[in-house]
Amino acid sequence: MEVQAIKQRFGIIGNSPGLNRAIDVAVQVAPVDLSVLITGESGVGKEVFPQIIHQFSSRKHGTYIAVNCGAIPEGTIESELFGHEKGSFTGAYDSRKGYFEVANGGTIFLDEVAELPVSTQVRLLRVLETGEFLKVGSSKVIKTNVRVIAATNVDIQKTIQQGKFREDLYYRLNTVPIDIPPLRDRKEDIPILFRKFALDFAERYRMPAITLTDDAIHILVNYRWPGNIRQLKNITEQISVIEQNREISMDILRNYLPDYNDTKLPALFDTVDQKTFASEREILYKILFDLKNDVTDLKKLVLDIMEKGSANIEFHEDNAHLIKKLYNSSETAVEPEILNPKIDLNRVQKEAIQDTEEIVEESLSLEDKEIELIKKALDKYNGKRKYAANELGISERTLYRKIKEYNI
């Protein structure tokens, strides 16, 4: 079947080489009963390709089930996928078949597969390798013949490194990869998609279709579209409903494109786990270790000054930088006049050596630093452990254990 006929059948719009390649791979792999992993950003239309594979496979008369793994709570995901027996957990008043049992002989599409808990990934791997699974609360092995197609919008290699996704499951799912290009890499398709959406909304809301001026089309094509096709469709609908003028200019379109002129900055992902506090200790230790090295280097520099015995020693740039660094990092450091080529040797020796003694005597024990940080956090929040734990980036339970351990 030609690619153009497939596009018409499944409502796919566009002629970019990347899109055509993805469709061609989906059709080629459909008759072969292999697992497929579909990758691509959110909103690119990944959900269409499992339907293409299912309809062109020998399982087209079987059941097709699409499961959004990210939308099912962790506590019930295994029950949804594999079923459960009556009384297996609170609220299990009857036995229930899971998706893998219902879809026997058909196809299951696991969308956002990277969101699966690790324990569920183990059970999924067993199904892929042996075709067997156990219901929750049952010891009876059930056989199933299901083709699994998975999709994700995250970099699974990174999740594997973070220990959130099993590497063996990744290779089992990724037998045949299909990558869907983002909308910004399909610039030639953007005006076509806009016109299609504009006509659809004009028909739905019974109003004239909106059109774009040439400068507006230029902006539309060069926008990054972080939300891809879904974002383009939403913006087209907003403009169709809100704007009275049916010809949309560049200035009007810009009002509907968020952060059009802003530089894209990486999002900060804030998470708190048991490793957080250890990481902070490692950073603190590294700072202290670097400072100790600087002090050692300064000692050598002062010793060199003493051996030369001249009051008119010309400092090299790296030496001056070292002394300046020590001055900025210590409360009782050498005065900035030490950077003057003509210096008082006695004063330099006295103040620099005095300063180094003060730093070296400071405890570098990680345990001592941890106790110090905990005490400071507790003092800051008047002994309230909840707020102190948040400040330290650890759980309240971990803080309570630390307080008992160090007898604070």
- The verdict on 18 and 166 lying in the same domain is yes
Q: How far apart are CA 258 and CA 395, in angstroms?
A: 37
pLDDT tens digit string along 206-225?
Answer: 999 999 999 999 999 999 99
Cβ atoms within 10 Å, residue 271: 7
Nearest of 308, 305, 384, 314 to residue 345 by alpha carbon: 305
- H or E segment and range at residue 194: helix 190-205
- The verdict on 25 and 155 lying in the same domain is yes
pLDDT tier at 269 (50, 70, 90 boundaries)? very low
Asked if the structure places residue 276 within a domain, the reply is no
Cβ neighbors of 186 (< 8 A, separation 6 or more) are 14, 16, 18, 19
Terminal Cα distance for the chain, rounded: 74
Q: What does the pLDDT read at residue 393?
A: 82
pLDDT tens digit string along 96-132?
Answer: 999 999 999 999 999 999 999 999 999 999 999 999 9
Q: Which of 142, 162, 181 is the last residue of a domain?
A: 181
- The verdict on 49 and 62 lying in the same domain is yes
Asked if the structure places residue 11 within a domain, the reply is yes
User: 292, 359 in Cβ contact below 8 A?
Assistant: yes
One-letter identity of residue 362 = E
Residue with tokens 């804030």: 270
Domain encompassing residue 190? 185-254
Nearest of 358, 307, 363 to residue 329 by alpha carbon: 358
* Whether the model pTM is above 0.95: no
Asked if the structure places residue 14 within a domain, the reply is yes
Q: What does the pLDDT read at residue 315?
A: 47
Mean of pLDDT values over 19-48: 96
Number of domains comprising the chain? 4
- The verdict on 177 and 200 lying in the same domain is no
- The verdict on 164 and 198 lying in the same domain is no
